[in-house]
Amino acid sequence: MNLHEEFLHSNGEDEFAADYQHIEFDNRRIHQRFSLRHNTRSPLALACDGLTVNLSTTRWFVFTSFGTANIKDVSISGVGILSNEALSIGMTFYIELDDIRVLCEVTREQPVKGLLKFLGARWISDNNIDIQRLVDAIKLRAKT
């Protein structure tokens, strides 16, 4: 297993999936995660799978886009993204997909290569309906 892929837990078997990969329940997590990776053995720096989303923040009550990220795994409690944006632990931002926007907080940061980082974030939005809509939209896009 690649050092930068410690968020994916494997028992050493090849885990290939045509649509998306269900990650076995991890006792360190409250909710099951779904991986959008097609090949968990490829290094994150070279991984072209996942789903690209927009990142934004609010400035004077106006949403301002500041970059993009690639979702690598998702659950009802959080998301794992790959991005080169200047985000660090404790920072908040919005993940946007179509007309859905959900607030997140960075809880984990793992350098991958250069400015590229794997970030773990938890949903901090009070709107559980939007969180569920976003997770469903991500899983639906992963299947197509």
Question: What pLDDT does 75 receive?
Answer: 87
pLDDT tens sequence across 106-144: 999 999 888 989 999 999 988 889 999 999 998 888 765
pLDDT in tens, 61-92: 888 899 999 988 888 889 999 999 989 999 99
pLDDT tens-digit series, residues 10-65: 444 444 333 434 444 444 556 666 676 556 666 555 556 778 899 999 888 888 89
For the stretch 105-124, what's the b/e string if a residue is b when 16 or more beta carbons lie within 10 angstroms of its beta carbon?
ebeeebebeeeebbbbbebe
H or E, element range at 42: none
pTM listed for this prediction: 0.71
